[in-house]
Amino acid sequence: MTETICAIATPPGRGGVGVVRISGTSIDDLAARLIGHLPEPRHAALVKVLDADGQAIDTGLALYFPAPHSFTGEHVLELQLHGSPVVLEMVLRACVAAGARRAGPGEFSQRAFLNDKLDLAQAEAIADLIAASSEQAARAATRSLDGVFSKQVHALADRIIELRVYVEAALDFPDEEIDFLAEGDVLGRVRMLVDQAVELLAQARAGRLLNDGLRIAIVGKPNAGKSSLFNALVKRDAAIVTEIPGTTRDVVRETIHLAGIPVTLADTAGLRETEDVVEREGVRRARAELAEADLVLWVVDVNDPEPGPPPETSVPVLRIENKIDLASVQGRSDPSGAKIDAVALSALTGEGMDGLDRAVSERFMKAETSLGEFTARARHVDQIESCLSHLDAARGVLEQTGSGELAAEELRRAAEALGEITGQVHSDELLGKIFSSFCIGK
């Protein structure tokens, strides 16, 4: 990391202000050629930016952050200029002429990670904050950037390592220790670690929802009110609604927020047997959407005496008893006998729609888990699941065989899985994959 790098740190396009960020060891020489001198640390200085021929490009503010007290941990110079793409590109060319090179995607954040300014989960939170699609997601990403998620991961990993060290010490020096396995102390502590990992996993899954969102498919018989519900949720007439069964032939998708969760909502064709070639293709696509969904809203007409069986799927199903404004009895029981949570509402009048938000949230959140504690990614969830699997294996070994050697190995693997979240255990391939998804200039 001896090279000095530069990049435009503001979004593409014209604006009032554009920022060029420079980081590296040769800031002194570069600043002398670019703006004449280095400003006083952490003080804004009005400067003229010069090109390689000494011609003025623009006038703006320069801010200097000496190492190690900067975002990257290196010397950093930021130039706040007029937000013209032409001007900013000219400044970048001047930086390159002065000895810097253009940064790759996420290279500033990668240097911050490698210089121990933040861990891998915090670095990913920067990208999550930039990409946040709701206020709740933005606040959760900020908490991850502040280290809320990392602290919980580190705390669990430290407890696992502490127990592993205790087990290995007892095995290496049997004359100095009591029979700890017979006392049941280790087994009890492993069980406690399992419970803590389960809780962390629930929180991480909730955080992942804020990042990745949900795919929700609206399915049901023709004329059950699927498209009316879809329009009510997206708050506009996105899908055609008529009294003719089979009006919806293709999948209609919209992105919305339910209970603070980004949702890709899909309205589908009515599920039934049909000889109509076009409608049959619509039903096929509806079933394909059903297979890809995280949650299914099964819409039934509350006045229909034969709503049929619930859709066959392995994902959660929420029964939507629609048209309660026309029903003599609201929210009647499901004649199919399936134990499925239900929400009674009227997509036409809006009655009961508030209950749908709560039901979606409850479907994916544990009662003790608050949505939005921090953001998480699929790889974080995978690693916590791996940690939990190894902890559960350690518990099984102790319960069945009492083997301290095998338990210690499972504890080692559990801690290693958590280390991959924060970057304590990492490969160059993993770092490349993560940081390549970042913006240039971050």
348-248-228 Cα angle (round to 5): 10
Average pLDDT score over the chain: 83
Highest mean pLDDT pick, 197-206, 215-224, 306-315: 197-206
CA distance 117 to 67: 11
315-339 pLDDT per residue, tens? 788 899 988 888 655 444 454 555 5
pLDDT more than 70, % of the chain? 83
CATH of domain 213-364: 3.40.50.300
Q: Is the pLDDT of residue 17 over 60?
A: yes
Fold of 135-209+375-435: Four Helix Bundle (Hemerythrin (Met), subunit A) (1.20.120)
- For the stretch 370-397, pLDDT in tens is 556 899 998 999 999 999 999 999 999 9
Which pLDDT tens digit goes with each residue over 150-207? 999 999 999 999 999 888 877 776 655 555 555 568 889 999 999 999 999 989 988 8
Asked whether 397 and 410 are in contact (CB, 8 A), the reply is: yes
* Domain boundary assignment for the chain: 5-118, 135-209+375-435, 213-364
Q: Would you call the peptide bond into 68 cis, given omega within 30 degrees of 0 as the criterion?
A: yes
Of the candidates 119, 39, 109, 111, the one whose C-alpha atom is nearest the C-alpha of residue 77 is: 39
CATH level 2 (architecture), domain 5-118: 2-Layer Sandwich (3.30)
